[in-house]
A and B are shown apart, each in its own frame.
Chain A
Amino acid sequence: MTDSYAATWRQTFASTVGVEDALTELSCEAARALEVGPAATARMHNLVAISTDTASHAAVDRVLAAMAEVHPSRLVRVRLDPAAPDGVQAQASVRCHVEGDLRCPIVYETVEIATGGNAGRHLAEIVAPVLEADLPVVLWWTGHPPFGDPAFEELLPLVDRLLLDSAALGSTGLRALADVLPTSPPVVDLAWGRLRPWRETIAAAFDHPPLDSAIREVRAVEIDVAGASVEGRLLAGWLAVKLGWQVARPLAGGRVGRGAFVRSGAVIPLVLAKEDGPAAIRRLAIEAGGYHLALTARGDWADVRLARDDLLLSEQRLPLVIPDDATLVSRALMRGGRDRDWEAAMSVTAILVSP
């Protein structure tokens, strides 16, 4: 076994009952066919990825493909189409990957399910038979999770972690998400992951003089976002939580507009401005302690300028690589527990976008 190679075995079913037995059988078949010893199954989680329209089907498939052929999960891929004929089609497959320097082949299990009609309203009963016992279940619901819909709500008791992207949510969706947080499984938000480089770069700017002593003296925040980006709101929510601000005036326009925070009686104006271009945060400016800090995104870099009274004090270029969704989903699988920072930031954001 000196070369890397891979092969796939498949079997199709009209129900998800029996699929798990088939996975075991297919793994044995793979090991026999490859004439290798017992295979190790890459299983740290059950990843249940659900998409509900053609565009998101394709987007999820791209992400899963970009996560490489390998990810340490039993993957349950559900294409839910309420308009499709009633029923379930399930396909079990194992992909056996052998690396030259590894002692044994690795098996990756995938269950692909297409469902619609009345059957599609019983997602919990469709998914439950194909979940590997004792492993955490991560539910990745692409698009807008249907909070309150029985099909979605019945899935949640099976789930240890809910993966979503708050960038897909409008103001109403954000408020609905904030409302369910106390009772939902721990949530991992892809938008929060995309904000991480921003959060780190902002935090780094306040690590050392002169801004370290000015951090409690923020006077104003401006965030420029492009396209349909809604992550600026969450970034503002994060700053508010970390610096002990309360929402004094919600954003007038929901996604963009003017709002304000307050801390110890002092009002901190917030401006969320919109630019043209692909969805992204473009610029953040903070007035603090008489200093003006501006971070401007330029590709994978941020220009960080610090000025006082229009006098430029320093200028730096720092990396600002926004991870792609495949990276974010991979990271989400490795997370555990509640992200209290995100929950707090989301709660503030929901207030910020309230009418």
Chain B
Amino acid sequence: MTDNPLRAGDGNERVAPPAVLVIFGSTGDLAHRKLLPALYNLLVDGLLPSSFAIAAVGRRAETDDDVRAQARQSVANFSRRRLDEDRWRRFAAMLRYVQMQLDAPDDYARLAQFLAALDVECGTRGNRLFYLSVPPSLFPVIVERLGDAGLAREHDNFVRIIVEKPFGHDLASAVTLNEQIHRVFAERQVFRIDHYLGKETVQNLLVLRFGNGILEPIWNRRYVDHCQITVAETLGIGSRAAYYEEAGALRDMVANHMMQLVSLVGMEPPVDLHADSVRDEKVKLLRSIEPIGPAQFATVVRGQYTAGWLGGQPVPGYREEPGVAPTSTTETYFAVRLTIDNWRWAGVPFYLRHGKRLPKRVTEIAIQFKQPPRQFFQTPGEEPAPNVLVLRIQPDEGISLRLVAKQPGPAIRLQNVTLDFLYRTAFDVEPPEAYERLLLDCLLGDSTLFARRDEIETMWRIYDAVLARQHDDPALAIHPYPAGSWGPAAADALIAADGRAWRRP
């Protein structure tokens, strides 16, 4: 593609190259809610080439038309763009169904033949992108069979594999999974997807930090008091009890998504914006975080919601949810104080909290700055609030800065005011869905927004001792909290012990 002179410049270089996207698990929720609508939107935006095909792999006996009918429903229900008949016809023509058993070697030989035929028919040039949208237990067998069938080999073409989280369930399993994948695919072929990294605001973190001259000088221990990262959900576990009972809040959210946010907030400036330059700095930051061993268990709070009221409605407790054991010790809330041992952040705690059935759905990063060395304007009983820079990731993506201003009037009375920047109002455009950006990046071979092996393993290393002992160490016991509250009192005590308090997002 890059040797086509008509493609140079004009933004055309962001159009995906010819390829076949093979979706394992094409009948699953992820494919229907996210992947197919994302691909449709890429087509609408002119970012898919005409030589593109989607091979939907499933175990059921279905036809191309069956899959197209299901995909049409997905696009109609979940695409951010309305379904347009002309574009739909073109999208539908790209869609093929492949019936196969995921552990049957012969079926992979047939898949290879099918893809070779698609290359001829659609001009996809042998370029393949395998998307593992299947339960993690199936990752090893699919990877092994792809390797045995010669489907991972590259010549003049590219072959890439997208792995959905969870990337293991602890350090040992992540290492094992990575080794299984690496027996067949080189690291540069592996794209571990964390959809958080596809969100505009998360990407904007790099721009905010390294594109603005005023922030970098104060982005350190000299000016920052602490950082709070909150991922609050109002929902319970819905129909995901079987998964959630095994995973819990730490594995589901904190150890991956939230650690990505920590690394982007805390990393040093990369030497350039190449994928490995950025990821090198993220890994450096993660390696600076002290793993939480038994001596640090007091910096962790595990909680579980009990029955309560949320938005005026009664909601059941976690243990009353269908499919949850009545004696479950799975955490639905996790808070932690992380210590980063490097020159930039020494002595600046990073507080993370994530929970289900909290009062609001919100994801935000709050950088709280230190107070001025002398307070001239202190009114008795009214401590001026410190400056806080809040990066809101959802909902209402944006940035706000809290300052103190003088109230109009004859006396010096202080008032907190907020400078607000909202993506939706400022740019007045609808940002692409995370999966649109990530699928396009993967097709283009840009791995900046994907997690590297060492990143994943370093994240797990931080929490490995907690995961190993969380169900039997009294220091990691579950603290109940009523649904609709901001979490257990122990979490408040955790931050209060440092003379601080959680923000109310």
Is B382 in the interface zone, CB < 8 Å from A? no
B424 in complex: contacting residue of A102, A196, A202, A317, CB < 8 Å = A102
Which B residues lie at the A interface, using CB under 8 A? 1, 3-10, 12, 15, 17-18, 46, 49-51, 86-87, 90, 123, 125, 395-396, 420, 422, 424-429
Task: Find chain B residues with CB under 8 A from A319 CB.
Answer: 46, 86-87, 90
Asked whether, in the complex, the Cβ of A203 is within 8 Å of the Cβ of B425, the reply is no
Q: Which of A224-254 contact B (CB under 8 A)?
A: 239, 242-244
B6 in complex: contacting residue of A42, A199, A300, A339, CB < 8 Å = A199
A42 in complex: contacting residue of B46, B87, B396, B426, CB < 8 Å = B426
State the total of A-B contacts with C-beta under 8 angstroms: 88
Is A44 in the interface zone, CB < 8 Å from B? yes
Task: Find chain A residues with CB under 8 A from B426 CB.
Answer: 40, 42-44, 72
Is A206 in the interface zone, CB < 8 Å from B? yes
In addition to A38-B420, A44-B427, A242-B6, 11 A-B residue pairs with Cβ atoms within 8 Å of each other are: A40-B426, A103-B422, A104-B422, A196-B10, A199-B6, A208-B18, A208-B125, A209-B123, A212-B3, A212-B4, A334-B427
Given A103-B396, A207-B51, A208-B125, answer yes or no on A72-B4 (Cβ-Cβ < 8 Å): no
- Chain B nearest Cβ from A64, distance in angstroms: 14
28 contacts between A and B (CB under 8 A): A42-B425, A42-B428, A43-B426, A44-B428, A72-B426, A72-B427, A103-B396, A103-B422, A104-B420, A104-B425, A106-B425, A197-B46, A199-B6, A200-B46, A203-B4, A204-B15, A204-B49, A206-B6, A207-B1, A207-B4, A208-B18, A208-B51, A215-B5, A239-B6, A244-B5, A316-B50, A319-B86, A334-B427
Task: Find chain B residues with CB under 8 A from A317 CB.
Answer: 90
- A207–B125 Cα gap in the complex (Å)? 10
Q: Which residue of B lies closest to A213 (CB)?
A: B3
- A8–B422 Cα gap in the complex (Å)? 22
Asked whether, in the complex, the Cβ of B4 is within 8 Å of the Cβ of A341, the reply is no
- Chain B nearest Cβ from A355, distance in angstroms: 30
- A243–B87 Cα gap in the complex (Å)? 31
- A206–B18 Cα gap in the complex (Å)? 12
Asked whether, in the complex, the Cβ of B50 is within 8 Å of the Cβ of A204, the reply is yes
Asked whether, in the complex, the Cβ of A208 is within 8 Å of the Cβ of B123, the reply is yes
Given A207-B4, A212-B4, A319-B90, answer yes or no on A341-B425 (Cβ-Cβ < 8 Å): no
Q: Which of A182-204 contact B (CB under 8 A)?
A: 196-197, 199-200, 202-204
Is A152 in the interface zone, CB < 8 Å from B? no
Interface centre among A42, A70, A200, A316, by most chain B C-beta atoms within 10 angstroms, is A200
- Chain B nearest Cβ from A84, distance in angstroms: 33
A215 in complex: contacting residue of B4, B46, B86, CB < 8 Å = B4
- A101–B422 Cα gap in the complex (Å)? 13
Interface centre among B49, B51, B425, by most chain A C-beta atoms within 10 angstroms, is B425
Task: Find chain B residues with CB under 8 A from A209 CB.
Answer: 123
- Chain A nearest Cβ from B416, distance in angstroms: 13
Task: Find chain A residues with CB under 8 A from B427 CB.
Answer: 44, 72, 334
Q: Which residue of A lies closest to B3 (CB)?
A: A212
Task: Find chain B residues with CB under 8 A from A103 CB.
Answer: 396, 422
